[in-house]
Structure 1
């Protein structure tokens, strides 16, 4: 924890995901809410089948979900969301050719009662 999942539409080509992941994890690691930087787990998932409204083309999205252990207050969640947004925007290219892209960030609680993690060595 936290788990960071970046979903994106395949019509957004040449996104610098390694740089984005670096910026996002670096910014989250600087939070006082993160005790161990090794707990940050980030990945990118391509949404091969998608829809943005009713248009067939010219639209895309990037949605970031940050899954954290339940119990944090609204201010901590807002801080996580802002850190991730800033990290994504740090390396976001300009989109031309009439392309409209929506970037969204969501913080979701992980239920402590059902979550299990085992560190394998």
Structure 2
């Protein structure tokens, strides 16, 4: 953990470098060294082909980031990470948003129950 899932509308595809955005997202999470182990960070993106935004009369776009984490972080840590990630989104899309309609959102999901996982990537960072 954490897992970061980015959903974005397909009308953004020609305006963004999604792999570059995911790299910036991972860098932002890694900057919180004491909150998440580097080996557990996983980000991915889904381009949405089927969606309807507002009244559907404009070429509106949206980006939604879902941050999924396990239990154990303080409210301050969660707030700091969410604010850092939302800042990445706002900065990344600032130029686009200055000329187009765009909605950005971020959601934090903290698992309340046991998760099942195996990950030997942590060995590289220990």
TM-score (norm 1): 0.84
Q: Which residue of 2 aligns with 1:63?
A: 64
In structure 2, the gaps of 5 or more residues are 122-126
Tell me, in whole angstroms, the C-alpha distance in 1 between the residues paired with 2:105 and 2:65.
Answer: 6
TM-score (norm 2): 0.81
Number of aligned residues: 119
Tell me, in whole angstroms, the C-alpha distance in 2 between the residues paired with 1:86 and 1:67.
Answer: 18
SS state at 1:87 partner: helix
Offset of 1:93 from its aligned partner?
A: 5.6
Q: Which moved more, 1:20-29 or 1:59-68?
A: 20-29
Taking the TM superposition and a 5 Å limit, the aligned residue runs for 1:1-121 are 1-12=1-12, 13-31=14-32, 32-34=34-36, 36-92=37-93, 94-95=95-96, 99-113=100-114, 115-119=115-119
Q: Which moved more, 1:22-31 or 1:88-97?
A: 88-97
RMSD, aligned α-carbons:
2.2
In structure 1, the gaps of 5 or more residues are none
